[in-house]
Amino acid sequence: MQHNIILVGLMGAGKSTIGRQLARRLNLTFYDSDKVIEERTGVPIPTIFEVEGEAGFREREEQVIAELTAMQGILLATGGGSILRDSNRERIKASGCVIYLRASADHLFQRIKHDQGRPLMQTANPVQTLRDLLKAREPYYMEVADLIIPTGKQKVNVILREIHNKLKQLQEVTHANP
Ligand SMILES: Nc1ncnc2c1ncn2[C@@H]1O[C@H](COP(=O)(O)OP(=O)(O)OP(=O)(O)O)[C@@H](O)[C@H]1O
Ligand SMILES: O=C(O)C1=C[C@@H](O)[C@@H](O)[C@H](O)C1
Ligand SMILES: [Mg+2]
C-alpha cells in the first residue's frame, strides 16, 4: 500500500502551485512530472513537442509517471494529459490518493493566458481548445479521482485548507472502516 498524493487536472488547474505547498504541509516530497521531463531532457516542454511531436512527449511522460508512481511518500503533480493513457491511469490510481483539481475552461484560461509554456494552447481559440480538452478528458479525471476539488474562483490558500480537511475526513473514514 502506497501513501502518495497525486494531483490531476487540466492545464492551469493549479497542480504545480497547490502541489508544492501541500507537499510542504504534509511533509511529502514534491515531484512534478513535467519538471522531471524537462530536467532529464535539458529542454523546455515546447521544444520536446517541436522536435519529437506530442507522441514523443507522451512516451517520455509514461516512463516518468511509471517511475514516480512507484515511489513512496511523495506528492506528485502530473502533466494535464497524463491521464490519456490507460497505463498511466492504472499506475496513478494504484499509487495513492488522487485529487482532481477541477475548473471551467474560462477560469483555466484566465490563469494561463500570459504563459507561452504550454504547446497545446498555441491555437487560434485557446478557450475553445480548453473546452474541447475538458470535454474529452473529464471522464478520465473523474475515473481516477478519490477527491474532486473545485478550484474556480478559489484562492490557493482556501483550496489548500479544503484539501487538508477532506484528506482528514477520508483518513477518519478509513480508520473507522479499515
Ligand atoms: N486557485 C488559483 N487562483 C489563482 N491563480 C492560480 C490558482 N491556482 C493556480 N494559479 C495560477 O495559475 C497558473 C497555472 O497554475 P499551475 O502551473 O500550478 O497549473 P498546472 O495545473 O500545474 O498546469 P500544467 O498542467 O500546465 O502544468 C500559475 O500562474 C498559478 O500561479
Ligand atoms: O494537457 C496537456 O496535454 C499538457 C499539460 C502540461 O502539463 C504538459 O504536460 C504539456 O504541456 C501537455
Ligand atoms: Mg504544472
Mean pLDDT of 14-20: 96
| 70 C-beta neighbours (distance < 10 Å), count | 13
Beta strands at 74-77 and 96-102: parallel, antiparallel or unpaired: unpaired
Element (H, E) at 7: strand 4-8
pLDDT band at 1 (very low <50, low <70, confident <90, very high): very low
Domain 4-169 belongs to what architecture? 3-Layer(aba) Sandwich (3.40)
- Whether 33 and 64 have beta carbons less than 8 Å apart is answered as yes
Q: How is residue 47 written as a grid cell?
A: 521544444
Of 25, 20, 24, 6, nearest to 72 (Cα)?
6
- 60 Cα–ligand 2 center, Å: 12
| 101 C-beta neighbours (distance < 10 Å), count | 26
Residue whose CA is at the smallest distance from ligand 2 atom 11: 118
pTM beyond 0.90: the answer is yes
Examine the pLDDT at 173 and tell me if it is beyond 90. Answer: no
175 vs 157: which has the higher pLDDT? 157
Per-residue pLDDT tens over the stretch 19-35: 999 999 999 999 999 99
ipTM surpasses cut 0.90: yes
Name residues contacting ligand 2 (CB within 6 A): 11, 34, 45, 79-81, 118-120
Closest ligand relative to 100 C-alpha: 1
- What's the distance, Cα to Cα, between the start and end of the chain in Å? 13
Mean pLDDT of 42-63: 97
Q: Which residue has the cell 485557446?
A: 126
Per-residue pLDDT tens over the stretch 53-75: 999 999 999 999 999 999 999 99
Q: Report the C-alpha gap between 89 and 65 in whole angstroms.
A: 10
Closest ligand relative to 81 C-alpha: 2
Examine the pLDDT at 2 and tell me if it is beyond 80. Answer: no
- Whether 53 and 76 have beta carbons less than 8 Å apart is answered as no
Q: For ligand 2, pick from 60, 82, 111, 120 the residue to mutate: most ligand atoms within 8 Å of CB.
A: 120
